[in-house]
Chain A
Amino acid sequence: MSFGARTLWSGLDLDVRPGEFLAVLGPNGAGKSTLLKAVLGQQPLTAGRLLVGGRPPGRGVRGVGYVPQQKSLDAATPLRARDLVGLGIDGHRWGIGRRSAADRRRVDEALAAVGATGYADAPIGLLSGGEQQRVRIAQALATDPQLLLCDEPLLSLDLRHQRAVAQMIDRRRREHGTAVVFVTHEINPVLDLVDRVLYVAGGSYRVGPPSEVLTSATLSELYRTPVDVLQVRGRIVVVGTPDEPAGCDHHDAVSGLAPVPLEGSR
Chain B
Amino acid sequence: MDRLFDFSDYGALLGLVTNSLIAAALLGVVGGLVGVFVQMRDMQFAVHGISELSFAGAAGALLLGGSVAVGSVVGSVLAAGLIGALGVRARDRNSVIGVLMPFGLGLGVLFLALYEGRAANKFGLLTGQIVAVDTVRLGWLTGVSVVVLLGLALIWRPLLFASADPEVAVARGVPVGLVSVAFTLLLGLAVSLAVQVVGALLVLSLLVTPAAAAFRVTASPLRATLLSVVFAVVSAVGGILLALGGTVPISPFVTTISFLVYLVCRVVSARRVRSGWGARVPAAASPEPVAIP
Contacts and interface: CB of A to CB of B under 8 A. Distances in A.
Interface of A: 40, 42, 58-61, 64, 66, 68, 71, 73, 76-80, 83-84, 87-88, 90-97, 112-115, 117-119, 122-127, 136, 139-140, 149, 163-164, 167-168, 170-171
Contacts of B135: none
Contacts of B160: 87, 91
A60 B156 contact: no
Given A95-B153, A167-B292, A66 B168 contact: yes
Interface stretch (B74-82, B123-131, B185-193, B273-281): B273-281
B218 A78 contact: yes
Contacts of A139: 168
Nearest to A99: B157
Given A60-B172, A167-B291, A87 B286 contact: no
A42 B172 CA distance: 11
Contacts of B289: 112-115, 168, 171
Main secondary structure of the interface of B (DSSP, over half): helix
A68 B168 contact: yes
Contacts of B161: 87, 91-92
Nearest to B42: A74
B219 A79 contact: yes
Interface of B: 36, 39-40, 153-158, 160-161, 164-165, 167-174, 214-216, 218-221, 224-225, 277-283, 285-286, 288-289, 291-293
A88 B165 CA distance: 10
Nearest to A160: B293
A119 B281 contact: yes
* Those 3 A-B pairs whose CB atoms lie nearest each other, nearest first: A60-B173, A91-B161, A123-B219
Contacts of A83: 220-221
Contacts of A125: 219
B157 A91 contact: yes
A125 to B, nearest CB: 8
A113 to B, nearest CB: 6
